[in-house]
Structure 1
Amino acid sequence: MHRLAPEVKITAAVLCTVAVVLTPREAFGAFAAYLVLIGAVAGLARVGPGWLIRRSAIELPFVLFAVVLPFTGHGPRTQVLGVALSVEGLYAGWNILVKGTLGVLVSLLLAATTTPRELIVGLDRLRCPQILVQIATFMLRYLQVLVDEARRMRVARLARGYDPRFLWQVRAFAAGIGALFLRAFERGERVYLAMLSRGYTGRLPEGRAPKASKTQWTAGLSVVAATAVIAVVS
């Protein structure tokens, strides 16, 4: 899993997610099969369930929305533990919850087995729009630089007696955000001019990472084939 070419893993993740989304919400067995398949892939990649569960908390807002739907939905109602819930709301909440969770797990597996640089290389090989690829590349490359810059500015504020923890101290924080934006803009201009002087033509060099072989495509698409079979049978 970790040695597969990034374009293979990206393609497999997108196609598997599409298959999950196209599955009817009443096909409960199909979603259980998807979960088993994801568990098998996670075991093959040696990604622990605890790691996946902790990072799945990112979908918590959607879970809360799904929980509300049975109470606010219209149409026929059914009794669940003495509470009247909308049947359509139950189906809608289940649909959001199960498909969102499976999609998040697939994305987490992709992130766990692929470095950010490999993701950029994979998107470039899949012929994604170059402007998006370049923006993502620069974001990943200079995000840590901006974080370090913000940390130094915070230390400078503290050294001058500013500690904006309360509402009436927000002026210092707002000024720091503005100064950070100006510094980031100026740094970006200098970096861009330096790139032009070194022959930049709108596309970064790909590097020496090997492209996907037929064996890797077969291995990656086998998971897609299993997912497609489950979706068709459901």
Structure 2
Amino acid sequence: MGAGHGHRLHFHGHSVVHRAQPHHKILALLGFVLLVVATPREWFAAYLLHLSLLLVVIAASRVPVTYLLKRLVVEVPFVVFALLMPFIAHGPQVEVLGVAVSEPGLLAAWGLLVKGTLGVLASLTLAATTEPQDVLRGLERLRMPQLVVQIMGFMIRYLDVVSGELSRMLTAMRSRGCDPRRPRHWPALARSLGALFIRSYERGERVHLAMLSRGYTGRLPS
């Protein structure tokens, strides 16, 4: 674990976007997200301009669009919620494909979908063109508190460790005839997740003690 870790979201490349300074990319992402959030939902043409700008950056990064679209699955819960809004919201009704839906709910669903999709796609572009370690260095350049940066660094480093441990636990459960997908086996799954949380907490305590024994004073070496 002492070696550097890549990330599943990163796409190796040498484009101008890959070579840009990480703190510049973080600031650009923050500015873009704030601009999208501040754009009124009724300004439909403005969202087309936002999308065009984002597509230009993606084209310059040479990251395949399909590579990013596959990872948009993280947005599915928000999409489901947005699709329900026209049916559960109150207000004047309009017909869409022969179905009566709430007009304010339809507008709210549009705003949630377009703003969420643009924000997630921009974030995925940053993750695809910037190594996790470079993101952390960029946050340090932007004067983010050291403790927060260190927590994020350890989260990245141990994410694969914890997910691998969870995968082995699920394999052991299935080999004993326990299917985590079945509701009657959910109590066993909950106990396994609780045990994984305790192990992760204890691992964090051991790592912290090891750091203190090696002279940790609140800052990690570069």
**Which category of TM-score, normalised to the shorter sequence, fits these structures?**
0.7 to 0.9
Q: Secondary structure at the match of 1:47?
A: coil
Change over 3 Å in CA distance of 1:66–1:197 after alignment to 2 = same
In the other structure, the counterpart of 2:5 is none
Q: Does 1:203 align with 2:214?
A: no
1:10 Cα deviation from its structure 2 partner: 0.9
Structure 2 matches for 1:1-40, cutoff 5 A? 1-40=17-56
Q: Secondary structure at the match of 2:91?
A: coil
In the other structure, the counterpart of 1:164 is 178
1:157 Cα deviation from its structure 2 partner: 6.2
- TM-score, reference length from structure 1: 0.76
Q: Give 1:74's match in structure 2, choosing from 66, 70, 90.
A: 90
Indicate if the aligned counterparts of 1:153 and 1:176 stay in contact, CA closer than 8 A.
Answer: yes
Q: Which sections of structure 1, spanning at least 5 residues, go unmatched? A: 208-234
Q: Does 1:93 align with 2:109?
A: yes
Structure 2 matches for 1:187-202, cutoff 5 A? 187-202=203-218
1:148 Cα deviation from its structure 2 partner: 3.8
Q: Secondary structure at the match of 2:19?
A: coil
Structure 2 matches for 1:108-119, cutoff 5 A? 108-119=124-135
Change over 3 Å in CA distance of 1:198–1:23 after alignment to 2 = same
1:172 Cα deviation from its structure 2 partner: 5.3
Change over 3 Å in CA distance of 1:82–1:130 after alignment to 2 = same
Fraction of identical pairs, as percent: 51
- What is the count of residue pairs matched by the alignment? 204
Change over 3 Å in CA distance of 1:131–1:94 after alignment to 2 = same
Change over 3 Å in CA distance of 1:185–1:77 after alignment to 2 = closer
Which of 134-143 and 63-72 deviates more? 63-72
Distance 2:171 2:95 in 1: 58
Distance 2:117 2:189 in 1: 36
Deviations 1:178-213 (A, max 9, x none): 4433433333222212212222111222x3xxxxxx
Structure of higher RCO (CA pairs closer than 8 Å, 6+ residues apart): 1
Larger Rg: 1
Distance 2:127 2:22 in 1: 10
In the other structure, the counterpart of 2:196 is 180
Indicate if the aligned counterparts of 1:164 and 1:170 stay in contact, CA closer than 8 A.
Answer: no
